[in-house]
Structure 1
Amino acid sequence: MKRRAIGYALAAGLIAVPLLLAAFGPLLAGPAGPRSVSFASGAGHWLGTDSGGRDVWRQVLLGGRSVVLVALGATGLAYLVAVPLGLTAALTRRTWWEEALMRPLDVVISVPSLLLVLLVAATLTPGPAGLAALVGLAAVPEAARVVHAAAAEISARPAVEALRIQGESWWRTAFGYVARSMRRTLAADAGIRLTGALYLVATAAFLGI
């Protein structure tokens, strides 16, 4: 138990430090100093400067909050769509309906997420909310497949069949039992989705979207 508690504390620290830096970074950035191009780290420039002479560490502190907020919004949106979609496909007794819901997602997964974001952004000019929507929708297929796989295993349990025999509503069966039973799986997958969203948002920002 003590070793597990230490592991939880270390994991919480690894998550909290970058999030706190992102949240309070603009307050810690300070005023912009004189520009000097020096890609190597040195006095006053922990991470060096970019090609425009701006301090890279200061840019990280200034931009971290918006990147994290957009990534969190994208991850939340992805699960808002993926959880009902995956549950519906897993709990239906009609194979054709399950195939109709899941097979198109397999096609979308074959296209890299960054390419999808770039293709849409080429025709639109998304702001932070639009970028969050793009990244979130790009994450839906993989998140839905995880939800579907976890829910399919749980839906085969006798407890789900008992709920159906008792005449429980689909909503209570899906969200009251199945979704609650796979919350650990969803929590683990959410970390992966958030990491991917951070990568996509940061890349999109770097490319000027």
Structure 2
Amino acid sequence: MKYCHYVTLNDGRRCVVRNAEAADAPEVLDVIQRTHVQTDFLRSYPNDMAIDVGQERSWLLERLESEREIELVGVVDGVIVGSAGVEEVGTTSKVWHRAELGISVIKQYWGNGIGGALIDACIACATAAGYSQLELQVVSDNARALALYTGRGFVEYGRNPRGLLSCVSGYQELVYMRRELDVPAVRVCTAVAER
């Protein structure tokens, strides 16, 4: 799946939201490491991810060739400042309609509209890929993210009070959110269970 879109940020600069390419692997890994140090609201710590540049390059190539999954980057002044992706929940026919959204933006660029641009791109890509539901999880104390997701049409459908266990703040409550997409929920069954 291919995607490229330009947006004007709140500070007047231009941002391109595009596919992450294999050549972006070192910079994407750097963004992942930086964002995971800058906030306690993400699912993992930097040392939890034992991925090298070669593995990241291969993973990004898979996403470039996929018709259902995508990894995007936000680029400002030639520098990758955030990433987001759409990943299928599973491959079985009962969950074929569901995808998950993940996003992170370098703290220095928060509040400029990059997160919103990445989310809008993920919504467009998930819709184009035929998903009818896009899901995410967010820490309940992350008011900025909750406002951003709610403003983009995501609604809460549940909570897990012990969703994450942070070394900094202890248990963190996760809010489960979803957004229905304008895609008909049609899937041809390939097998019928015998009774």
Q: Which has the higher contact order (CA 8 A, sep 6+)?
A: 1
Shorter chain as denominator, the TM-score bin is under 0.3
Please report the TM-score for the alignment, with normalisation by the length of structure 1.
0.21
More helix, by proportion = 1
Structure with larger Rg: 1
